[in-house]
Amino acid sequence: MLCTRRLTALLTLGLSTMLTTLPAAAEITVLDRPLWIFPGQLFRVCLQQPEGSGTLAAATPANLQAIDTWDQDAIQRFYYRALAPGEARLAFAGQAGRLAMTIEVIPWSSLHDPRQHASIDLPRLWPLGKSDFDEVKSRRTLHSDADLQALKGEEPGPLAQAWLDLDDEAIYQIVPGPSVPRTCLIVLGSLEGGGVGKGCPVCGTAIYEGRSGFYPWVMDPENHPWKVGCPNCKTWFPSNDWANGDMDSGDFPDDGYGCEPATPIRDANGRAWRWPFIAYYHQWQAYMNTLTPGILQSARAFAATGDPRYAHACGIALLRYAESMADMAVNLNHRKIPNRDGVYNGPVGAPIPARYERLASTFLYIQPNWDTPRMENCARAWDLIFEHVDQDQALLEFARAHHHPELQTTRDLRRFLEIGILRVPLQACLDNAIARNYPQQEVTAATLALALGTPAALDIADWLLNERGVRFALVNEYYRDGGAHESPSYNHIQIRDMARLFETLDGIRTLHPERYIPPRFVSPQQDPRFRLQYDFPLDYTLIGRTYPMVGDTGKGARPDPLPLKPGYPCNPTDWAKAFALTGDPRFALAYAGPDPDAVQAIADPALRQAAATARQQHGPWEKLPSLIQDGYGQAILRSGSGDQERALWMRYGRAPQHAHPDMLTYGLAAFQRDWLPELGYPEGWTYARHWESNWGTHYATKIEGVSAWDFAKGELTTFAATAPAQVAAAECTAGQGPNAPFRQRSIALIDLSDTDFYVVTVERVRGGTRHVMSFHGPDGEATIAGVTPQPGGGSAAGEAVPHMDIAAATRADKELGALALMREPSRARIDGPWSLTYGLRDQEDLSLEVHALEPRQGDLTLAKGRAPGGRSAYDITWALLENRSDPAPLRQQYLHLLHPRAGAARLDRVETIPIAADPADGDFPPLALRVTAGDTVDWIVLQHGRRREVTVEGITTDAEFALWRERRGSLAGAVLVRGTRLQRQNHGLTLTEAEFRATITACDWAANSILVAPAPPQGMALVGRHLRLHNDLGSSTSYRIRAATTEGQAVRLHLDHDPRLGEGFVKACEDGRILGTTGLRLAGWQYYSGKTVANETGTAWRRLRDTHQARDLVVEPLDGQPVPAAVLINEFSDGDADGLTRYVIYDYGPGDAVTLENTATLTLP
């Protein structure tokens, strides 16, 4: 790939004289050098000396080839290729002094020799410490005979066909190997001071206009190999001919470690930007788009055609791949993260030492979310061609000619290839080096073990199940309602790969059934929790067309009609697996989809019949009731049917990965559309934390000085699916104490008819001295009434803060950057209610009315916002309301009414009704409003905290939520939630108590049931009701009651979900703690606080205060003292004598409080 070119600085002849006359000065320092080098690899040495010291001369030993130099006076770079094993003694000399160093070029035959770096034992080959791998693959294990038959006649892929026209050297040189960095992004703000303003070196941020904020660049390997193009200014980068050994020519050179423009281009803080063009091309074009897909295509082409040329080409590429992986078993500095993180940083883009002084999360060739599938595919390719290698003497000779004289036989070659294809990635899995999106690393480990196919594969299965905790994954890696632990789009990785992981483990069991037996070997696929990962996406569906777009999911878009597509993010393959697992017709219906002709096209008879039956019962999609997904943290209120279906949702959960600070955000789907769009996945990382991943682009209120990320998992306090008004409420705090920052939201879906409705929401906020409430409607023009904002300068962050000046906007609070990205501000001081009407873009008859009723004072800013990092599918109007108070804490209630409408306005008037203050009022006084729609008038009262009896225009209530409806002056309906009275002129509703309270006296966790005392009043309806279980250690959880039976003075309640929240092995006990060996991914935001941990037989239990390092369990003290270790050891022992000591964490336990909000409804014709 690289050939030698000018070497003006390599003045070997005079170097010996210089070395004898110049001092050995410490002024020459090393900026970059390799750890070890294998023959054939490229590397560089980078040195620094005082300015003005001139060119350093260098002596090149015989086992190195000098490629080029880059003389920048103070920084001197030297480029080499290793030719043969042995010590390579380099000497450099100049006016600053002299420097000698030894580079060890190690032969591939010494790959197994023990080494160390930063106390890490090398090489990282599985199994560690073994050099003689007698086991090699002896049978096909990833493809059945039926799989091979299905491949027959398959058209070879385009890369496979193209490789037949390439010589072996060209295939081998597709990638230069891991000594050259890789990256997937030209701009990575987290590693370069934010990256704001960085675009193309020539045309700047114009490159992003109308293009992806991540990947606007283009590549053309035929006409511009090892170049990256700007589609805007048409410049190709870098300016040097890197592929032919030119490392520094032109204005934009890149030596593989990042482009350094001849004239530095700096950010606002003076930092010189670097552009990793070669690393970008290396990852995308060379490795991801050519080498690895070509390997699989060639192997499949061989299986399809029997043509040995395909197998040979595949073998050549696998040799390069195996060498690369084997190199990274020794050279930790060649792994993705150390060199990727280096290329963005000066002075020379060197790998960062701290990144290769560890193993975890160092990655291998590229990041695992893209690399683990490629590792598996290379194993699949090997499964198809490994037997052919014994017949391919040309492949063996090629390897020997490329620095592998140790490979004497094709068996030696197979052993080496399996080191790179299977054993290095396997050890990387065991080292947690390629963890990213669970369970990609785990399913890769299982696949590679199955590919090896020897009895040693059982060791990997054992590690997965028991050390990695896969046997507990359905509990520890999912919320109890089946929701996986990332955003919905990323959760598909978990859904897909969890099924593949269990199937692959079953494949290992099939190979070795006599040893794959309990208790160490189990089949998690048999756990009833497994099906929940398929139930959850269906239950999460809104109006059969969309879903709550929380975290990095979806995109902000035009509010156009949405097609029927229930069950995101699952696809037909997932539904087929779910049906095969359960036989449940709901999965067959999801598999068929909304197309009426799809059912008859289903090949599987059982699946076809189930889909037909389900379609007859439900129609094209399953109509769902209002429901709680309390594990994931979602409440969904639903009403209407068909195209008039609507769904109002609220988020109160937290997720560990790909999450946004979207606590208590809410959304609305109706009339086949999404009316309150979340912006979803960022358009680019540069602005993500200030835009898509910022509180300001969600439906939320910011407390200045309090991070939006600090709010712990919220708790659902109210859920009443009581037509015509359905209500949900949740709250959260940041910290502890009576004045801790606090947020609460109540939402209500209120039906006027089968086709018309409106929404009421109130957000209650306490804390700090400044609040900023943010709201935005759908894409389209917005008009305001009730106040007249005046156009102003700057941005939504203020008159003095220019548009896009994030630094100025974030001086007071680092999370206010979103306001600087909102342009064309207009401002007004409000002194009463105001409203916005959003007209849906290009949809004249559709609009959203937003009535802002409280607070009645504040500073209002309207501004426009679109994705700042690239193309944008939206241009939305934001409304921002600022309030201040001194002293703290400021308390505000933000009361809004939303009414989506088709055609003329249905609501005639929306008005607040004053309620006289009372000393009994707490932080948030009662609110009341009147809504007039034709001959229908609704009165609504909302209270929180210290509820009291209030009278509003003759209507008296003490409820948390009350709706009084009159039609043509007569009572038409009433809804009472958590109150005892709702009356007007002797008509209305009364209850004996606002809520039912009791205590859990016993639990049957296996049966999902609790015994509660005292029993509720006789005749009280319980089935289908929302139940809250809580205690004073911070546990608060919600369930729906499936069944209820009286048992003496108590009642047994059967709940809708398995209460297991965590499982693991007990390693030891110490005072106050149970030490575990199993990671608990969800152990954040007080997830386990107040929960109940029981031993494996359920005969002893304790309450948890929290977890420690997401692994150990901190037990609630006993009489103020830690529970003695001896007591815990006795309680948490191996009760079933199977040699494995387990614990189980449950969502609730004896002593927890039970609360049911009482509700009553009245509907008159």
Question: pLDDT (tens digit, 9 = 90+) per residue, 647-683?
Answer: 999 999 999 999 999 999 999 999 999 999 999 999 9
At 917-956, the pLDDT tens digits run: 888 788 999 999 999 999 999 999 999 988 999 999 999 9
For residue 1157, the cross-strand partners are 995
Q: What is the H or E stretch that residue 82 is in?
A: strand 75-82
Mean pLDDT of the chain: 95
- Give, as one character, the DSSP assignment of residue 285: I
Query: In the predicted model, is pLDDT for residue 21 greater than 60?
Result: no
Query: What average pLDDT does this structure show over 494-522?
Result: 96
How confident is the model at residue 1165, as a pLDDT?
81
For residue 1030, the cross-strand partners are 1036, 1153
The amino acid at 327:
D
CA distances from 806 to 149, 263, 402, 635, 690 (A): 60, 26, 53, 34, 8
How confident is the model at residue 874, as a pLDDT?
96
Half-sphere exposure of 758 (CA within 13 A, CB side): 26
Cβ–Cβ < 8 Å for 950, 926: yes
Which ranges of 775-825 would DSSP assign to H, the alpha helix? 806-809, 817-820
Helix axes 393-401, 308-330, angle to 10 degrees: 30
Query: In the predicted model, is pLDDT for residue 883 greater than 80?
Result: yes
Q: What is the 3-state secondary structure (H, E, C) of 1011-1064?
A: EEECCCCCCCCCCCCEEEEECCCCCEEEEEEEEEEEECCEEEEEECCCCEEEEE
- pTM for the model: 0.95
How confident is the model at residue 413, as a pLDDT?
97
End-to-end CA distance of the chain: 83
Question: Going by C-beta distance under 8 Å and a sequence separation of 6 or more, which residues neighbour residue 875?
Answer: 779, 864, 865, 866
Cα-Cα-Cα-Cα dihedral of 412, 414, 417, 422, to 10°? Answer: -120
Cβ–Cβ < 8 Å for 590, 567: yes
Round to whole Å and give the CA distance between 613 and 406.
Answer: 65
How confident is the model at residue 6, as a pLDDT?
43
How confident is the model at residue 728, as a pLDDT?
98
Q: For the purposes of burial, counting CB atoms within 10 Å of the CB of 84, is it exposed (0-12), middle (13-18) or buried (19 or more)?
A: middle
Q: For the purposes of burial, counting CB atoms within 10 Å of the CB of 87, is it exposed (0-12), middle (13-18) or buried (19 or more)?
A: exposed
How confident is the model at residue 869, as a pLDDT?
87
Query: What average pLDDT does this structure show over 879-894?
Result: 95
At 995-1038, the pLDDT tens digits run: 999 999 999 999 999 999 999 998 899 999 999 999 999 999 99
How confident is the model at residue 540, as a pLDDT?
97
Question: β-pairing, 1112-1115 with 1101-1108?
Answer: antiparallel
Q: What is the H or E stretch that residue 844 is in?
A: none
Round to whole Å and give the CA distance between 835 and 840.
Answer: 16
At 299-350, the pLDDT tens digits run: 999 999 999 999 999 999 999 999 999 999 999 999 999 999 999 999 999 9
How confident is the model at residue 11, as a pLDDT?
34
At 831, is the pLDDT very low, low, confident or very high (cuts 50, 70, 90)? very high
How confident is the model at residue 983, as a pLDDT?
97
At 584-606, the pLDDT tens digits run: 999 999 999 988 889 999 999 99
DSSP per-residue string spanning 46-70: EEE--TT--PPEEE--TTEEEEEEE
Query: What average pLDDT does this structure show over 48-70?
Result: 97
- Strands in 42-48's sheet, in edge-to-edge order, are 29-32, 42-48, 75-82, 64-72
How confident is the model at residue 435, as a pLDDT?
95
| More confidently predicted of 735 and 445 | 445
Query: In the predicted model, is pLDDT for residue 988 greater than 70?
Result: yes
Question: Going by C-beta distance under 8 Å and a sequence separation of 6 or more, which residues neighbour residue 884?
Answer: 769, 770, 771, 890
At 1111-1123, the pLDDT tens digits run: 999 999 999 999 9
Query: In the predicted model, is pLDDT for residue 9 greater than 80?
Result: no
Tokens describing residue 888 = 């703290």
Q: For the purposes of burial, counting CB atoms within 10 Å of the CB of 67, is it exposed (0-12), middle (13-18) or buried (19 or more)?
A: buried
Question: Going by C-beta distance under 8 Å and a sequence separation of 6 or more, which residues neighbour residue 215?
Answer: 185
